[in-house]
Structure 1
């Protein structure tokens, strides 16, 4: 039996971000895989699924990825 955490809402949101060309422009990445790695590095995780099981990683995701991305979109697309 696997002990790997399953992804929940934050993992799915991170996956959605990675598929968006705007997010890849924000993160300076060229592919969904590179964007996923960018998120993992910023959040100090091995898998995006950890965002839903690790409170500190979730906080880092909000502070280092989600909020800056939203702010970047507001500044660049309004």
Structure 2
């Protein structure tokens, strides 16, 4: 089963450290926070941050060599903070909505039969025909592809004119 991120909590580090450690946090210049097994480990660094960082890196390098299997499990289970955000799912916009409404209208089914000679008796059949005519897999694609949108506009314009009595 693929892990699914359900909730993400964000808390400023200084505030979280103070909450967890109270006054023991002191006037820390930096913190090194990691998960070791089932424990949250916080190293408080006071003084020359550059020197301390180099020492911490050496300590961490040695620790990582000893616990590489455990670290691999942690890294695969926890989302990376620097990971690029995934693209949001595409949603249907105004063209997809308009196409869906038209496909549900019995007048559109009749229009398809009279204009294109294709018998349509359900909204699903109308949707399948429209997708084939526009060259899309989903009506959502109409809002993301200008060429496919133009195909839909031609059909929709003809349908609207047909509704007004023009052939």
TM-score of the two chains, using structure 2 as the length reference: 0.42
Separation in structure 1 between the aligned mates of residue 98 and residue 131 of structure 2, nearest angstrom: 13
Aligned length: 75
Aligned-residue Cα RMSD (Å) equals 1.8
Q: Flag as ranges the 4+ runs of structure 1 deviating above 6 A.
A: none
TM-score of the two chains, using structure 1 as the length reference: 0.85
Deviations 1:34-74 (A, max 9, x none): 000111011011100000011111111001x1011011111
Higher Cα radius of gyration: 2
Q: 1:30 to 1:4 in 2, by over 3 A?
A: farther
Query: Which runs of 5 or more residues in structure 1 are unaligned?
Result: none
Higher helix share: 1
Query: Which runs of 5 or more residues in structure 2 are unaligned?
Result: 1-85, 114-119
Higher strand share: 2
Residue 71 of structure 1: aligned partner: 161
